[in-house]
Structure 1
Amino acid sequence: MAAELRRLRAAAGFTREEVTESTGINGATLYRIEKARARPQKRTLLALLQVYGASETQRIDLLAVQSGSHDQGWLRPYHSELPEEYTAYIGFESEARTVRNYESLFIPGLAQTEAYARAVIKGVLPTASHTEVEQRVQARIERQELLTKNGPLQLWAIMDEAAIRRMVGGRDVMLTQVRRLLTLMEEPHITLQVIPFGTGAHAGMTGNFVHMDFPDAQDPELVYLDTPAGDLFLEAEAEIRRYKSMFEHLQAVALGPSDTVGLLASVVAESD
């Protein structure tokens, strides 16, 4: 819905400021609606569709999305307690066709064991309560159902060797985690690569990112950044091209899948 509203506004030739002047909708509210960070009230949606000159078919389709947004299958009761940007990310991920994820220090979330996820969350959120930690762990494990459903999510994840060498949760937790990666690599829809320390400096050292595309060609591709200053969703074509190019560079410098299996197996052997 957010993507379609942005498209309709662009097609009508309006800036956000002009829409605010025409409808009285707060500019910050409009921004949040277009970034999928807030669900528009029905009257707000109707006002936007009228200004944009939406067709009857578009009105019917978007009103159906708006009225059904409370019942999204990915939304669990406790998700209301999670950060808004994270629940938005879960929603996008649940609808994605392909996820390409680069991680410099963490095992990718879709590949984490429960014990590793708990240790990571406790480590990066030292002030979080037990309930908050467990809610995040549960959300992370539930997300992994995307990899086992019919027509599973296609996952291509690249991580720096630091992610598999750091003793998150201790030796036993990491040993189980690395074995989990080896198991995942047996699946045809999952590709994992590791960038070894010997590679030296590389494009991913600036930080983690996730690139998603979707089954519907009308849905724009998306890049997600989890930063200390807040979560960002990027959809501008120039940004998408930049991160796609970065991922291609990382694919080129990382070990191929078979060599990655060899490295992971050696880590397990060292720990046994």
Structure 2
Amino acid sequence: MERRQLGLMLRRFRDRAGKTQQQAAQAIGRDTARVSQVETAKGSFNPEELSTLLDFYGVDEAERRTALELGARARKRQRGRGYTDQLPLAFERLADLQADAKAIGFYESSIVPGLAQSADYMRAVINAGDGVWWEPSQDEVERRVGFRAELQRRVLDAVEPKDISFVVAERVLDEVIGSVSVLRGQLLHLLQLGERPNVTVQVLPRSVLNNPLIGCGLITLDFGAAAPQIAFVPVSYGPSTYHDQEADTVPMFRAYRRARELALGHDASRALLIDKLKELE
């Protein structure tokens, strides 16, 4: 996980700086293959190489500290099961993983997943955290709104369409965040998302029995043959924990598949969303 996060972060820094892999390799006196290996989690740089590369990309001090610490962790021996990301701005590294995945599954029991949020709903959710999870700051609100909107663009409008599925518990559709008008717009947004050819939106009714994911959230990330599967359990606050070993990912992916099986199909989910909209008129 540490190598994967570091590689994706370095690729993001390189793209942002407008540099090629060849230019990056020249900056540290290595060949292009080495840069590619690190960006795809098949290797790591030594501290001097990593520091030079961060200078070359023009990375700021905060991002630099995180990248250097992640580099140190990536060079260590194999850790135990599960990886807890306690470094700053963990949501940025989760975003990198989502942008890199070929298939993503979301289950939520209390809130619409970030990638499926309308602009107004997204802003209402982030405003609710202002002055709670961080000190009151309109700049921070705008930064988070902009970041989430950009993530939606990176993932939902990727050049190579991803297979994306959302399963939301019915109670999510009744939870007013911001205002009734915001909720109405969010329900319409879910209906529109469900019409995309690569996106599935399903609702898990209250009446369903034996939901293995009751009361929690789950994100599944499938990279095809490029890397092992990853499962992630979202939290409101605190360190983010990833699971990338089969002993954990197999049952977690199985639980997500069961939730999809229990949820309503496309047409029935759409009908329920329309009924919820009518109730708000």
Q: TM-score, normalized by length of structure 2?
A: 0.69
Find 1:103's aligned residue among 82, 102, 108. 108
Identify, as 1 or 2, the structure richer in helix: 1
How much does 1:223 deviate? 1.0
How much does 1:150 deviate? 2.6
Single out whichever of 259-268 and 124-133 deviates more from structure 2. Answer: 124-133
Find 1:162's aligned residue among 150, 171, 174. 171
String of CA shifts for 1:167-220, please: whole Å, max 9, x gaps.
Answer: 1111100001100110111111000111111124521114111101114x1311
Find 2:219's aligned residue among 183, 186, 210. 210
Which residue is equivalent to 1:197? Answer: 206
SS in structure 1 at match of 2:272 = helix
How much does 1:226 deviate? 2.0
Preserved CA contact (<8 Å) 2:231 2:253: no
Which residue is equivalent to 1:265? Answer: 274
Which residue is equivalent to 1:174? Answer: 183
Which residue is equivalent to 2:147? Answer: 139
SS in structure 1 at match of 2:5 = coil
How much does 1:148 deviate? 2.2
Q: TM-score, normalized by length of structure 1?
A: 0.71
How much does 1:126 deviate? 3.9
String of CA shifts for 1:39-72, please: whole Å, max 9, x gaps.
Answer: 79xxxxxxxxxxxxxxx9974643576679869x
RCO higher in structure (CA 8 A, sep ≥6): 2
Preserved CA contact (<8 Å) 2:101 2:221: yes
Structure 2: runs of 5 or more not aligned: 11-30, 67-86
- RMSD over aligned CA atoms reads 3.1
Single out whichever of 99-108 and 217-226 deviates more from structure 2. Answer: 217-226
Amino acid at match of 1:223: A
Find 1:247's aligned residue among 256, 268, 273. 256
Preserved CA contact (<8 Å) 1:37 1:84: no
Distance, in Å, in 2 between the alignment partners of 1:261 and 1:140 is 25
Amino acid at match of 2:37: L
Which residue is equivalent to 2:83? Answer: none
Aligned length: 220
Preserved CA contact (<8 Å) 1:154 1:190: yes
Preserved CA contact (<8 Å) 1:37 1:85: no
SS in structure 1 at match of 2:213 = helix
String of CA shifts for 1:148-170, please: whole Å, max 9, x gaps.
Answer: 23322221010111111101111
Amino acid at match of 2:99: S
Find 2:233's aligned residue among 225, 228, 234. 225
CA 1:248–1:64: 2 relative to 1, 3 Å: closer
SS in structure 2 at match of 1:199 = coil
SS in structure 2 at match of 1:192 = strand
Preserved CA contact (<8 Å) 2:122 2:145: yes
Distance, in Å, in 2 between the alignment partners of 1:226 and 1:124 is 15
